[in-house]
């Protein structure tokens, strides 16, 4: 199509549900993360002479469609790319079809975990998309935009071949060297950083942001979909990471960063060097990160605390050792408890990440998890409702373990789409509420939140402004699904 701008792409982060429900979505109010993957791709493409913009429907649900239409009509990009999870995929399909209606000839593509897991199998049912980008998007997207006629041999694409068959062109063998990448194009996110917010009470200072410093995870838990990065684990060097934080501070005034890595401390030397850099040339910033219990120790934690570490998240998942050992490697709940105490002793807050509803879950196993939670000095809690995502090891055989309602828009870990054998949805919902209520009713937790008046005043302002929604959540769970 000659009249379209072949060098331009609009990158879209779909909301995933009806825009009218966004106002009632407590998850959005509590946590609105910038689409860092798209911002990274935009920076990569721009560095190579393409023009890329980002439409974040999640941040601006009510105006997103109008903005999409205006952008396509005025700038006439030849390309539009979507980043979708399982729950937002069908919304992406709807917007891709709309884009084709507005601008016939535009080429539509979609990346993210859902299409990376299901690849060419999705093409026939979703003709709104011309291509699926499987795995990391930067190089695949650039090569496709540069030489569209070479698409069949461009690695990392699911597409229709000349014979009219849906095919996958194969994985990219070598992952990108992360230190060679430009910083994400944060400036292309409207209102960054103020538009976005970390979970309430999860940070000491604002403005703040999430930041990614590695890709992948070498473990293989049964419930985890690793289709995008597969088994690889790559990371930025400590020096790059320091420069990244310095940039965020100097350009956007960021005062706290949440590292959105699966395994921030996996490489011990990197963490030590990063802490030494922050110690030698302080940026007066704080940070959070997520770790596995076996990848922290007292010396490392002391260095991290000194360097500004404010909170550490630990994927605990369950307090039932037998259940947990069916789903992940190296289960030792006593060791996990020791590590939680160690983090607290260092003066770093601890966030416990739990999951309810795994295959094999029973009322007693959830109660064991709740008792385990109560036995630990955990400050913050997140309980996910187990969801068997395409691409996770459990997905293929999930029907053996219970009833699975594969309704993609509802697969966002906020409703029980899988019911383990012997349980009911009502029971799971009751136990889920009991989990949170047990945590929040502990006097030490209430006291802890009072101290947040001093340690995270911005969180309190947000909490008071949204009090009604939070109380509603405490009584009935999230209302997004009531749409
Ligand atoms: S759950 Fe965490 S540790 Fe397990 S595979 Fe996924 S990212 Fe890795």
pLDDT per residue as tens digits for the range 424-436: 999 999 999 999 9
* CA–CA dist 105, 100 (Å, integer): 7
End-to-end CA distance of the chain: 39
Cα Rg of the chain (Å, integer): 22
The DSSP H or E segment spanning 311 is strand 309-317
Model pLDDT for residues 302-334, shown as the tens digit of each residue: 999 999 999 999 999 999 999 999 999 889 999
Q: How far does residue 172's CA lie from ligand 1's centre (Å)?
A: 22
Q: Which atom of ligand 1 is nearest to the CA of 224?
A: 6
Determine the pLDDT at residue 482: 35
Q: Which atom of ligand 1 is nearest to the CA of 220?
A: 5
> DSSP strand E in 76-143: where?
77-83, 107-111, 131-133
- For residues 359 and 387, the answer to whether their CB atoms sit within 8 Å is no
- Report strand pairing: 349-356 vs 380-385: parallel
Cβ of 317 below 6 Å from ligand 1? no
Common-topology check for domains 5-163 and 197-482: no
Determine the pLDDT at residue 1: 57
Determine the pLDDT at residue 256: 98
Determine the pLDDT at residue 232: 81
- For residues 339 and 293, the answer to whether their CB atoms sit within 8 Å is yes
Determine the pLDDT at residue 469: 77
Fold category of 5-163 in CATH: Rossmann fold (3.40.50)
pLDDT tier, 183 (very low <50, low <70, confident <90, very high otherwise) = very high
Cβ of 224 below 6 Å from ligand 1? yes
Q: In what order do the strands lie in the sheet with 380-385?
A: 208-211, 256-259, 286-291, 309-317, 349-356, 380-385
Q: Which atom of ligand 1 is nearest to the CA of 218?
A: 8
pLDDT at 397 over 80: yes
**Is residue 271 classed as helix, strand or coil in its secondary structure?**
helix
Tokens of 427: 């029971």
- For residues 194 and 207, the answer to whether their CB atoms sit within 8 Å is yes
Q: In the beta sheet, which residues pair with residue 402?
A: 420
Determine the pLDDT at residue 259: 98
Model pLDDT for residues 75-93, shown as the tens digit of each residue: 999 999 999 999 999 999 9
Q: What angle do CA 391, 393, 396 make, to 5 degrees?
A: 80
Domain boundaries along the sequence of the chain: 5-163, 197-482
The candidate with the shortest Cα–Cα distance to 90, out of 393, 412, 396, is 412
* CA–CA dist 190, 55 (Å, integer): 9
For tokens 């999930």, name the residue. 398
Q: In the beta sheet, which residues pair with residue 159?
A: 167
* CA–CA dist 465, 454 (Å, integer): 17
* CA–CA dist 180, 320 (Å, integer): 43
The CATH H-level superfamily of 197-482 is tm_1862 like domain (3.80.30.20)
Q: How far does residue 388's CA lie from ligand 1's centre (Å)?
A: 14
Tokens of 363: 């009322």
- For residues 146 and 163, the answer to whether their CB atoms sit within 8 Å is no
Q: Which atom of ligand 1 is nearest to the CA of 317?
A: 1
* CA–CA dist 331, 319 (Å, integer): 10
- Residues 405, 410, 413, 415: is their CA dihedral positive or negative? negative
For the segment 374-398, the average pLDDT, to the nearest whole number, is 97
* CA–CA dist 349, 406 (Å, integer): 36
Cβ of 376 below 6 Å from ligand 1? no
In this prediction the pTM is 0.95
pLDDT at 9 over 70: yes
Determine the pLDDT at residue 483: 33
Q: How far does residue 291's CA lie from ligand 1's centre (Å)?
A: 10
Q: Which atom of ligand 1 is nearest to the CA of 292?
A: 3
Q: In the beta sheet, which residues pair with residue 79?
A: 9, 107
Cβ of 391 below 6 Å from ligand 1? no
For the segment 24-51, the average pLDDT, to the nearest whole number, is 93
| Closest residue CA from atom 6 of ligand 1 | 224
Main-chain dihedrals φ then ψ at residue 50, nearest 5 degrees: -90, 165
């Amino acid at each position: 199509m000659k009249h379209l701008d072949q060098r331009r792409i609009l990158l879209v982060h779909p909301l995933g549900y009806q825009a009218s429900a966004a106002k009632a979505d407590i998850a959005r109010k509590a946590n609105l993360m910038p689409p860092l993957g798209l911002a990274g791709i935009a920076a990569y493409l721009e560095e190579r002479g393409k023009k890329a913009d980002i439409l974040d429907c999640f941040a601006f649900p009510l105006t997103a469609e109008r903005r999409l239409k205006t952008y396509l009509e005025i700038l006439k990009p030849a390309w539009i790319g979507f980043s979708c999870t399982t729950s937002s995929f069908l919304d992406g399909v709807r917007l891709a079809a709309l884009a084709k209606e507005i601008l016939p000839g535009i080429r539509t593509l979609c990346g993210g975990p859902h299409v990376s897991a299901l690849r060419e199998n999705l093409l026939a049912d979703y003709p709104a998309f011309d291509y699926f980008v499987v795995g990391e998007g930067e190089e695949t997207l650039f090569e496709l935009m540069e030489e569209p006629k070479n698409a069949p041999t461009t690695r990392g694409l699911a597409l229709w071949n000349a014979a009219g068959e849906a095919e996958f062109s194969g994985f990219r063998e070598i992952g990108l060297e992360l230190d060679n990448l430009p910083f994400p194009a944060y400036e292309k996110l409207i209102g960054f950083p103020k538009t976005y917010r970390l979970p309430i009470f999860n940070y000491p200072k604002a403005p703040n942001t999430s930041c990614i410093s590695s890709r992948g995870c070498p473990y293989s838990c049964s419930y985890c979909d690793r289709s995008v990065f597969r088994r690889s684990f790559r990371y930025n060097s400590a020096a790059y990471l320091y420069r990244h934080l310095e940039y965020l501070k100097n350009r956007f005034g960021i005062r706290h960063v949440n590292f959105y890595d699966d395994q921030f401390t996996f490489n011990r030397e990197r963490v030590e060097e990063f802490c030494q850099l922050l110690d030698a040339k302080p940026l007066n910033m704080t940070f959070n990160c997520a770790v596995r219990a076996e990848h922290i120790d007292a010396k490392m934690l002391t260095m991290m605390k000194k360097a500004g570490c404010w909170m550490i998240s630990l994927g605990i998942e369950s307090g039932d050792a037998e259940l947990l050992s069916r789903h992940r490697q190296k289960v030792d709940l006593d060791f996990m408890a020791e590590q939680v105490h160690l983090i607290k002793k260092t003066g770093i807050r601890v966030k416990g990440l739990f999951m309810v509803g795994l295959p094999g879950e029973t009322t007693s196993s959830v109660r064991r998890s709740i008792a385990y939670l109560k036995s630990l000095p955990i400050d913050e809690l997140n309980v996910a409702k187990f969801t068997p995502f395409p691409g996770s090891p459990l997905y293929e055989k999930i029907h053996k373990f219970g009833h699975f309602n594969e309704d993609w828009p509802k697969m966002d870990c906020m409703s029980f789409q899988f019911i383990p054998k012997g349980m009911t949805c009502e029971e799971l919902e009751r136990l889920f509420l009991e989990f949170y209520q047990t945590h929040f009713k502990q006097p030490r937790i209430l006291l802890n939140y009072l101290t947040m008046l001093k340690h995270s005043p911005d969180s309190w302002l947000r909490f008071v402004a949204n009090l009604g929604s939070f109380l509603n959540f405490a009584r009935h769970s999230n209302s997004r699904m009531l749409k």
